Structure 1
Amino acid sequence: MEVTWNKKMRKTAGYCVTGQRRGVEVQRYARIELSEKVCDSAERLRDTLVHEMCHAATWLINGVRDGHGQFWKLYARKSTVVHPELPMVTRCHSYEINYKYQYECRKCKNKIGRHSKSLDTQRFVCALCTGQLVLLTSQKNATPVRTELNPFAAFVKENYGSTKKELVGMSHGDVMRKLSADFASKARL
């Protein structure tokens, strides 16, 4: 039986693919796919693998695809009897998924997790209250920190477009020098 890692599964811990090849005789097969993103610890990997092996057993041994039905429950109970030191095999996982990137709503403090930095905070808002989303970054101890623009970065963000139009044909470096001078004179006031 083949067991592979799947980079695309973002919330599902594992999946058992079953099928059959027809030839001289019908041959059943099962393949297990595990999520790289969700199975990120030895315990999660073990529990997910046992769960998916129960699905594979129902098909390979009994020729039945019954989801989490009576045959699946039979193999789940058998695994608990054989290995009582392991947690019981459950129907669904309740894993807290560890996202690389976290966004937080400024209004309601709702958190949204992403595996990539794909959320454009200029275009998307909080689904709960339509508040502005802010990217949180992780410190070395994995606690999220709010990323706020420093005053100069905020000034550049606000004024770059108009300054670029004002200095048509000038290089990015020239535009930044002008913005730097404008910011310095504004700061002195």
Structure 2
Amino acid sequence: MTLRATSSSRGLGRLEKTDARGELSGRAFARAREELARELYAEMNRNVFGGALPPDLDIKWTPYLRSTAGTTHYKRTQRVGEAPVYHARIELATKVLDTAAKLRRTLCHEMCHVAAWLIDHVAKPPHGAHFKRWARCAMERYPDLDVSTCHNYDIHYAHRWQCGACRREYGRHSRSIDPNKHRCGGGCGGQLTYLGRSNPDGTPCKARTPSAYNAFVKDNMAVVRSELGAGTPSREIMKELSQRYRASKAQLNEGDSARRAAQGDAPPTADELEGAMRRLDLL
């Protein structure tokens, strides 16, 4: 099986925790992106489109857009004897938009499409005269904003592999490349090596310490699956693992209590508490 090469990206942001360059960190941006998108939409609707776009336009984030930053969906409905009604909604890519700067530029681009449809009632060609007119309005209001006819971003892929022969790199959003099955598609057919997971700024992700439950599942999965037999549904296997984990945890807690009691750390009895209270009354 052959693969095609991919690229990486940089970032810019403004809320919560920032990196050394003053840019919004990946997780902080992910937590803030919905609120930030609504704030940017309201601001640009007011400053660029004169408030002519719906204040509650449907804006959704989706993980299914992987090669484009955003898209606008159009719909036109009309009842007999009534004027047509124009609808629009915007989808934004969680896999591509990882910084506030990309979000701002992409959202403005899609809002120009929305304006061309809802105000001018024109959708084709997608980047025709009506789109470009609204794009010029946006760039006049925001000179630092480049509203082009395409979303020209380097996409950040968290997982990367490199060919040992030609040094070509491959990126994926998930760890979907198996070096035992895949080879370089650049013509050399070289062996691929996993480079690890990285943040949007290129720094390696810190390894996460697995929780006690995850460690228990990893250590006992094979045993439980073998005991329950082939064909057992995954939910039944996980249910059994959860029950065993709770039992194991309860047993450990009982052992800790017994050790504390043996060391003289047992909790006081009711008689001991009553005696202590009487002594306090005498003080």
TM-score, normalised via structure 2 length: 0.48
Question: Which residue among 22, 28, 33 is the counterpart of 2:91?
Answer: 33
Partner of 1:42: 100
Percentage identity across paired residues of the two chains: 39
Question: Which residue among 172, 177, 191 is the counterpart of 1:114?
Answer: 172
Partner of 1:93: 151
Query: Larger relative CO (CA 8 A, sep 6+): 1 or 2?
Result: 2
1:144 shift after superposition:
5.8
Q: Secondary structure at the match of 2:68?
A: coil
Opposite residue 140 of structure 2, the aligned amino acid is V
More helix by share: 2
**1:106·1:131 contact (CA, 8 Å) conserved in 2?**
yes
Partner of 1:15: 71
In structure 2, relative to structure 1, the CA distance for the partners of 1:59 and 1:139 (3 Å cut) is: closer
In structure 2, relative to structure 1, the CA distance for the partners of 1:106 and 1:3 (3 Å cut) is: same
Partner of 1:156: none
- Give the number of equivalent residue pairs: 144
- Asked if 1:61 corresponds to 2:61, the answer is no
**2:158·2:198 contact (CA, 8 Å) conserved in 1?**
no
Post-superposition Cα deviations, 1:105-127, rounded to whole Å, max 9, x if no partner, equal: 11111111100011122111111
Partner of 2:189: 130
**2:198·2:204 contact (CA, 8 Å) conserved in 1?**
yes
TM-score, normalised via structure 1 length: 0.71
Post-superposition Cα deviations, 1:9-52, rounded to whole Å, max 9, x if no partner, equal: 11200001111122243210110000001111000000000000
Structure 1 vs Structure 2 CA RMSD: 1.9
**1:102·1:144 contact (CA, 8 Å) conserved in 2?**
no
Written as runs of structure 1 = structure 2, the 5 A alignment for 1:176-187 is none
In structure 2, relative to structure 1, the CA distance for the partners of 1:133 and 1:113 (3 Å cut) is: same
Q: Secondary structure at the match of 1:56?
A: helix
- Asked if 1:82 corresponds to 2:144, the answer is no
1:143 shift after superposition:
4.1
Larger C-alpha radius of gyration, 1 or 2?
Answer: 2
Specify every segment of 5 or more residues in structure 2 that has no aligned partner in the other structure, as ranges: 1-56, 206-283
1:139 shift after superposition:
6.5
Post-superposition Cα deviations, 1:66-96, rounded to whole Å, max 9, x if no partner, equal: 2111111111001111222x32211122212
Q: Hey, what's the Cα distance between the residues in 2 that align with 1:46 and 1:144? A: 26
Task: Give the 4+ runs in structure 1 shifted more than 4 A.
Answer: none
Partner of 2:132: 73
**1:2·1:31 contact (CA, 8 Å) conserved in 2?**
yes
**2:61·2:94 contact (CA, 8 Å) conserved in 1?**
yes
Q: Hey, what's the Cα distance between the residues in 1 that align with 2:185 and 2:90? A: 34
